[in-house]
Amino acid sequence: MKLRKEIEPQLEIAEKLYSEILKSVMEYADFCDENGDEENIAYQKLEEKLHILTRKDMTQFNLLEWWEEEGVEVLAFRIALPDPLIVENITKEELSEIICSRLQWSDDFDDDSFKGEFNLYLDEYYYNFLKLNFKKTYNYSKIFCAQKNKDKSLFELTDEEKIKKLRNDGKFR
């Protein structure tokens, strides 16, 4: 199922910004290797530059020690990808597409396009989309993580239960 344009990640914008963001982060790393940045002056300049490009709050990103996380390419992608939008009247079918397809891991990486290269890293976008659009019902740990039954055994919600919880319809375990 194809989602409405306002639900889909804005990959065309991310693709336009990606190279400049990647280059800027790499140049900052090279600068630090050669000169250090004890006063964080260059770091603040990098944050400001990236904020101007994306309008995002850069404090959510680790621009200094990205090698300890997912790597510089993924960091640049996450910075370049615009945040999700608030969308009115999300249908059960659209929510189902996100839960059952978009948030499911796939080993189909044959696509050499920009989207194919970063498809695996869109999960954060969709979780943020759900958090933004289902403010009253979204709780990552209670919907997407293993839970304990009364007998202390672990279980996970089914996709249908996740959808019901987000839509706030129906009873749950």
**How far apart (Å, rounded) are the C-alpha atoms in residues 72 and 61?**
11
- pLDDT at position 173 is 45
Angle at the Cα of 168 from the Cα atoms of 127 and 3, rounded to 5 degrees: 45
Those residues with Cβ within 8 angstroms of residue 171's Cβ, 6 or more apart along the chain or in another chain: none
Is there a contact between 170 and 137 (Cβ–Cβ < 8 Å)?
A: no
Quickly state the pLDDT bin for 170 (edges 50, 70, 90): low
With bands split at pLDDT 50, 70 and 90, how would you rate the model's confidence at 13?
A: very high
Q: Among 11-20, 136-145, 163-172, whose mean pLDDT is lowest?
A: 163-172
Q: How much of the chain exceeds pLDDT 90, in percent? A: 83
The Cα 7–Cα 86 span in angstroms is 8
Instruction: Using alpha carbons, list the distances in angstroms from residue 19 to 25, 74, 116.
Output: 10, 12, 16
- The rounded distance, in Å, linking the Cα atoms of 68 and 72 is 10
pLDDT band at 108, cuts 50/70/90?
low
Nearest to 22 by CA among 70, 82, 77: 77
Q: Exposed, middle or buried, 171 (CB in 10 Å: 0-12/13-18/19+)?
A: exposed
Q: Which pLDDT score is estimated for 107?
A: 61
- Per-residue pLDDT of 36-75, as tens digits, reads 999 999 999 999 999 999 999 999 999 988 878 899 999 9
Residue 27's CB: how many other CB atoms inside 10 A? 12
- pLDDT at residue 134 is higher than 90: yes
Closest CA to 167 of 99, 92, 82, 76: 92
